[in-house]
Amino acid sequence: MTSSKLGSRLSSRRRSDPGLRWVRVVIAVLATVGAIDTGAITLKKWGLLGALSCGKEGFFGCNGCEKVLASAWGSIAGQPLALFGCLAYLAILLMAVVPLVVQGETRVSLSQRSWWGMALLSTAMAVFSLVLVGVMLFGLQDCCPFCILSALLSVSLMVFSLVGGDWEDTGTLVFRTVITALLVGVVGLGWAASANRPAAITGKGVPPAVLSDSNPAKLALAEQLTASGAVMYSAYWCPHCHEQKELFGRQATEKLEVIECAPDGRNSQKALCDTKKIEGYPSWEIKGVISSGVKPLEQLADKSGYTGSRSF
């Protein structure tokens, strides 16, 4: 083979696969970890992962992500925010892997486009993740280890995407990434501010309002539970506590004996919760026995000796 033909083949190979191939592998690994991370958060939010009780304390003093997931910033359009993050990680994974396995002209057309896609999408993910970290630190004043991991992964993906591509025009790259970062930053900050409005109305440390109505049987059960000395230990940020209250309805919940255990909750009785060694929310204390998790009304009726109507 002549040197000219060898040079031509090498040049053709470089053109068909611009950028560093090993960087694609690293990006694929990081995107896989991110998809698993955000996928786990999504399943937890949907109630498909983990017990139906909120942990008292997570890693490094964090509330096990429950407070973050239950906040006004934990969802968009009724779906967990982590779901959209998971889809973004999967998109990055596809853009990193597909050009490595396809051949021919398809590989040529996908390769450079995928670098642009990974660079711009990872930039958007990194900026939005930093907005969320700011919300956790200054808005919720708490942290979520899984959310912090996702932010670190997003920033890492952005760095590798920008470094790994074979950019012929760095000016265009800088312009597009800066515009993307500014747009996502402005939209993200606007969303964070608007999502906080419901929290500002209810006040700090106040649980969300119960929306469902109570029927006579639910009212009677709540009155029986309170009369028998039953207590529900709760935290205002706990989504499963809110779920338990919704089972009773608004009027019946007002008749329950609910103890706030979150230290920053309204009318907190954290010392009592510590004395009772409450480890998960909600927890019920009925006839001296404490158990955690959302309880069906039928089960609460059995435990408390309720004998009235069970048309819950």
Residue 65 scores a pLDDT above 70? no
What total of structural domains would you count in the chain? 2
Whole domain around residue 111: which residue ranges?
A: 18-201
Does the residue 49 lie in any domain?
A: yes
pLDDT for residue 52: 46
pLDDT for residue 183: 97
CB atoms under 10 Å from CB of 248, counted, come to: 24
Residue 71 scores a pLDDT above 90? no
- For 131-147, give one letter per residue: b (16+ CB within 10 A) or e: bbbebbeebbebbbebb
51 and 167 fall within a common domain: yes
224: tokens are: 């029986």
189-242 tens-digit pLDDT: 998 888 765 444 456 788 888 888 899 999 999 999 999 999 999 999 888 898
Q: What angle do CA 154, 158, 162 make, to 5 degrees?
A: 170
Residue with tokens 């954290």: 270
User: What is the average per-residue pLDDT within 78-89?
Assistant: 91
- Name which residue leads in pLDDT, 196 or 270: 270
DSSP notation for 61-110: G--TTHHHHHSTTSEETTEEHHHHHHHHHHHHHHHHHHHHH--HHHHHHH
pLDDT for residue 1: 47
Q: What is the CATH number of the domain that holds 234?
A: 3.40.30.10
User: What is the average per-residue pLDDT within 22-26?
Assistant: 95
CA contacts within 13 A on the Cβ side of 176: 15
Model's pTM, two decimal places? 0.66
- Name which residue leads in pLDDT, 5 or 187: 187
**CB distance 144 to 202 below 8 Å:** no
pLDDT for residue 108: 74
109-162 tens-digit pLDDT: 788 899 999 999 999 999 999 999 998 888 777 777 888 899 999 999 999 999
248 and 156 fall within a common domain: no
pLDDT for residue 254: 94
Q: What is the CATH number of the domain that holds 164?
A: 1.20.1440.130
Does the residue 311 lie in any domain?
A: no
234 and 148 fall within a common domain: no
Does the residue 136 lie in any domain?
A: yes
Q: Indicate the residue among 201, 224, 246 that finishes a domain.
A: 201
- Name which residue leads in pLDDT, 278 or 139: 278
151 and 266 fall within a common domain: no
pLDDT for residue 33: 97
